[in-house]
Amino acid sequence: MYNYIAIKGVNILRAVDIIIKKREGEVLNLDEIHFMIDGYVKGEIPDYQMSSLLMAICLKGLNSDEQTAFTMEMLKSGEQIDLSSIDGICVDKHSTGGVGDKTTLVVAPIIASCGLKIAKMSGRGLGHTGGTLDKLESIPGFNINVSSKDFLKQVKEIGIAVVGQTANITPADKKLYALRDVTGTVESVGLIASSIMSKKLASGAHSILLDVKVGDGAFMKTIEDAKVLAKAMVSIGNKCGRKTVAMLTDMDQPLGEAVGNSLEVIEAIETLKGHGDREFTTLCHEICAEMLLITNSVKNKEEAIKLIDKKIESGEALEKLREMIIYQHGDPKVIDDYSLFKKCQKVVEVKALKDGYIKRIHTLNVGNVAMILGAGRQTKDETIDHSVGIKIKVKVGDKVKAGDTLALIYSNGVREKEAIDMLLECFEICQEKVAKHNIILGIVE
């Protein structure tokens, strides 16, 4: 049924030999990596052999050249977005994901108002809250299903588009990830880096900014692990001719206040109006500044920050969001009238039970509370309730008194009592002073 052998000159490649080679910790060459990935996509390599190779990779790792080769094979397995018809510099941003991460909704309009092009294909969320597309769909009428032709036209005319994936991008990655998900082989830095970067390269941007989250609410729990992943992805991007920089950012507390789809859109709008949460605003400024620097749009960081502040204060950044909403058939009046968003039935306060300092916020559990309220999905077929979610009213290091509001739950009655009890347990309060967290933990170039 399967053809395991390919002849290249006098060399005969067999899947079993390649598996054994990696199991012994040896480096795979380009032909071997191509043989395995191409054969798997074509159905010539069965699941059980690819699973064995993936497990060997998890145990023995991939070096920098192997990671790049894996990336390029997955990239070549599908279509690639051609942005060459767009005048100017196309730049992209990717976040490894976190709780309350609505950064794209702020960064993309700012960057577009600075003259760069944002042609971004985003995804839906599977887990505690929706992805960027789910958040955007909380705007009445907003359409994320844009044809490739209209996608390019929109970027050319207003410099910004955030849409669902329309092309058949990296089918090898999709097939491999589905297999990794059920074989305990997700947690490999080389495979994670190759998966992320194959999609970013396929999206066609000239420059890429990676936001690598670190902490309780992130996939990478420690700064050491996050640095390894960031270095791997930056190396792949730069080897493939794309200027790539990674920022390590804190996810040991929710990002901003809002966790939940329409709540996060509203917070993003407020941030573009200059009224955002301080730490979230800082993160957006730092990401935008780095994007301006890697594209040589400014001479230094000071000039970048001044330009960003100018675009927010003048309203130009907010206007870019308005233009994108109009182009994608959403109701732009939501920018000035938040009552147009779908409303939940009630808002419940969660209050501190004692005096003290916020020692820790169990961030992933905050996300899980949002999910049981209906803000996320456990399976891809579940429907998201855009109106529900949470607002976190305190930060790590804040002093609180018994009875102070720790959070607000926006509820439609689904598992509400369970959500209240779970959310209260997310806050650890101690008697000793606690240091505030820094949002930016480092940069990898």
């006098």: which residue's tokens? 10
440 CB neighbour count, 10 Å cutoff: 16
Candidates 77, 188, 194, 195; catalytic one: 195
Catalytic residue, chosen from 34, 93, 180, 320, is 180
Which pLDDT value is given to residue 97? 84
User: What does the pLDDT look like over 280-294, one tens digit per residue?
Assistant: 999 999 999 999 999
Residue 80 has φ and ψ, to the nearest 5°, of: -125, 140
Q: What tokens were used for 111?
A: 């960057």
Average pLDDT (428-441) is 96
The pLDDT of residue 396 is: 97
- 169-217 residue pLDDT tens: 899 998 998 899 889 998 899 999 999 999 999 999 999 999 999 999 9
Considering 199, 243, 285, 311, which one is annotated as catalytic? 199
Query: What pLDDT shows up at residue 3?
Result: 43
Respond yes or no: is residue 387 known to be catalytic: no
Domain ranges of the chain: 5-61, 91-335, 343-430
Per-residue pLDDT at 79 exceeds 70:
yes
Q: Three-state DSSP class for 437?
A: coil
Distance of CA 437 to the CA centre of its chain: 21
Buried b (16+ CB within 10 A) or exposed e, 128-142: bbbbbbbbbbbbbeb
Query: Are 420 and 348 contacting, i.e. CB atoms less than 8 angstroms apart?
Result: yes
Which residue in this structure is represented by tokens 């067999």? 14
Out of 101, 134, 173, 216, the active site residue is 173
The residue among 348, 417, 414, 419 whose CA lies nearest residue 385 is: 414
Q: Is residue 86 a contact partner of residue 61, using CB atoms and an 8 Å limit?
A: no
Among 415, 436, 437, 404, residue whose Cα is nearest residue 368: 415
In this predicted structure, which of 4-18, 152-166, 323-337 has the lowest mean pLDDT?
Answer: 4-18
pLDDT at 126: 53
Burial (Cβ within 10 Å: 0-12, 13-18, ≥19) of residue 359? middle
Structure tokens at 287: 């990401």
Give the 3-state secondary structure of residue 119: strand
Is 148 catalytic? The answer is no
Q: What is the pLDDT of residue 204?
A: 92
Judge whether 385 counts as a catalytic residue: no
CATH superfamily of 5-61: Transferase, Pyrimidine Nucleoside Phosphorylase; Chain C (1.20.970.10)
301 is catalytic: no
Question: Which residues, at least 6 apart from 77, have a Cβ–Cβ distance to it below 8 Å?
Answer: 37, 38, 41, 170, 171, 172, 173
* Residue 127 pLDDT greater than 70, yes or no: no
Average per-residue pLDDT for the chain: 93
**SS3 state of residue 393:** coil
Average pLDDT over residues 40-66: 96
Query: Could you tell me the two tokens for 377?
Result: 């999905």
Where are the alpha helices (H) located in 314-362, listed in sequence order? 316-327
Q: Return all residues near 417 (Cβ < 8 A) that are at least 6 apart.
A: none
- The owner of tokens 């005319």 is 157
Left, alpha or beta for 93 (phi > 0: left; psi -120 to 50: alpha)? beta
Which of these, 410, 258, 414, 261, lies nearest to 347 by C-alpha position? 410
> Would you identify the CATH topology of the domain 343-430?
Aldehyde Oxidoreductase; domain 3 (3.90.1170)
Residue 129 pLDDT > 80: no
Pairwise CA distance, residues 437 & 398, whole Å: 11
E runs forming strands in 123-277: 160-164, 207-214, 243-250, 258-259
C-alpha 157/C-alpha 385 separation (Å) is: 33
pLDDT at 439 over 80: yes
Q: How confident is the model at residue 125 (pLDDT cuts 50, 70, 90)?
A: low
Structural contact between residues 68 and 101, judged by C-beta atoms closer than 8 angstroms:
no
Q: In terms of pLDDT, which residue wins out, 384 or 379?
A: 384
Q: Which of 36-45, 116-125, 241-250 has the lowest mean pLDDT?
A: 116-125
The pLDDT of residue 424 is above 60? yes
CB 267 within 8 A of CB 137: no
Q: Which residues contact 302 (CB under 8 A, 6 or more apart)?
A: none
What is the C-alpha radius of gyration for the chain, rounded to an integer number of angstroms? 23
pLDDT tens digits for 233-253?
A: 999 999 999 999 999 999 999
Is 199 marked active-site? yes
pLDDT of residue 168: 83
Predicted TM-score (pTM) of this structure: 0.91
CATH code linked to domain 91-335:
3.40.1030.10
Residue 4 scores a pLDDT above 70: no
Closest Cα to residue 116, out of 11, 206, 33? Answer: 206
Q: How far apart are CA 287 and CA 231, in angstroms?
A: 17
Q: What is the pLDDT of residues 9-23, one digit of tens each?
A: 446 899 999 999 999
Give the contacts of 409 (CB within 8 A, at least 6 positions apart).
347, 348, 349, 350, 369, 373, 390, 416, 419, 420, 423
Query: What is the mean predicted confidence (pLDDT) over 333-353?
Result: 97
Cβ neighbours, 10 Å, residue 254: 28
Residue 402 has pLDDT above 60, yes or no: yes
pLDDT category of residue 381 using cuts at 50, 70 and 90: confident
Q: Residue 219's pLDDT is what? A: 86
DSSP code at position 284: H
